[in-house]
Amino acid sequence: MQNNTQYTNAVSAAIQSFARTIANCAHDSVVENNDYAIHDSVDSIQFLYDNYTKYDNVNCLANAALSSTLDTAVRENIHAQLV
């Protein structure tokens, strides 16, 4: 079992990272009518919000992401952010 504060900090940091990706891509995505990782980042944040209370350590949550039905790139990005 991982320290609750460490787990919370890791999940929060991952969500913040995906949110930064959205913020950094938003203007170009709108101007160029293209999706520069926005949908993937939203899916990643949604997965984390939906699942972080089901686990008590980063490795379990990261492995759950890899086992999910999300797009492969999304699963791998979540896993990489967490571990």
pTM assigned to the model: 0.90
Average pLDDT along the chain:
93
pLDDT at 58 over 60: yes
Indicate the DSSP class of residue 3. -
Alpha-helical runs (H) found in 32-71: 38-51, 58-67
pLDDT in tens, 22-42: 999 988 888 888 887 899 999
Give the phi and the psi of residue 36 in degrees, each rounded to 5. Answer: -95, 75
Q: Check: CB of residue 65 under 8 Å from CB of residue 1.
A: no
Q: Are 79 and 47 within 8 A, CB to CB?
A: no
Of how many residues is the chain composed?
83
pLDDT recorded at residue 1: 55
Report the share of the chain in percent with pLDDT over 70. Answer: 98
